[in-house]
């Protein structure tokens, strides 16, 4: 999967920036909950060649119900803490994910 970056997004789209915290080694991919105000994404993918980042972006898109291309990595490609942009229409869904138990996304 090709990683989506900020330069791939048209300038006129209304977006929300979300800080996520990726946790490795999960038995399944899960989105939800918060850690110091960041959205937690648990992934089973290995931290090799961007697999973890790609799995996290895909999980966020599935949890928000938006196309994969709508979730764009802004910063943190090699960090566990990442900043992503999602469509502004997803603002309420992001708030719900932050405030509730993890949402399981089965690969």
Number of domains into which the chain is organized: 1
Q: Is residue 22 part of a domain?
A: yes
Q: What is the mean pLDDT of residues 18-31?
A: 91
CATH label of the domain that carries residue 71: 3.30.1200.10
Look at residue 34 and tell me if it is in a domain.
Answer: yes
Q: What domain range includes position 64?
A: 6-105
Is the separation of the CB atoms in 14 and 88 below 8 Å?
yes
Structure tokens at 58: 């895909």
Q: pTM of the predicted model, to two decimals? A: 0.80
Residue 96 has pLDDT above 80, yes or no: yes
Give the pLDDT confidence score for residue 33 in this predicted structure: 85
Has residue 21 been placed in a domain? yes
What is the rounded CA–CA span in Å between residue 32 and residue 42?
8
Q: For residue 66, is it within any domain?
A: yes
Note whether residue 12 is domain-resident.
Answer: yes
Tell me whether residue 11 is in a domain.
Answer: yes
- CB contact burial 15-45 (16+ within 10 A = b; e otherwise): beebbbbbeeeeeebbbbbeeeebbbbbbeb
Mind listing the pLDDT tens digit for each residue in 30-74?
Answer: 898 888 888 999 999 888 888 999 999 999 999 999 999 999 999
Contacts of 100 (CB under 8 A, 6+ apart): 32, 33
Q: Is 106 exposed, middle or buried (0-12, 13-18, 19+ CB in 10 A)?
A: exposed
Is residue 1 included in any domain, yes or no? no
């Amino acid at each position: 999967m090709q990683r989506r970056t900020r330069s791939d997004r048209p300038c006129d789209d209304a977006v929300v920036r979300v800080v996520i915290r990726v946790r490795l080694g999960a038995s399944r991919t899960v989105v939800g909950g918060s850690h110091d105000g960041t959205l937690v994404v648990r992934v089973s993918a290995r931290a090799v060649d961007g697999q973890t980042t790609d799995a996290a972006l895909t999980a966020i898109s599935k949890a928000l119900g938006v196309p994969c291309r709508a979730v764009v990595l802004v910063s943190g490609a090699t960090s566990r803490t990442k900043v992503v942009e999602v469509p502004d229409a997803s603002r309420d869904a992001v708030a719900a994910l932050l405030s509730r138990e993890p949402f399981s996304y089965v690969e």
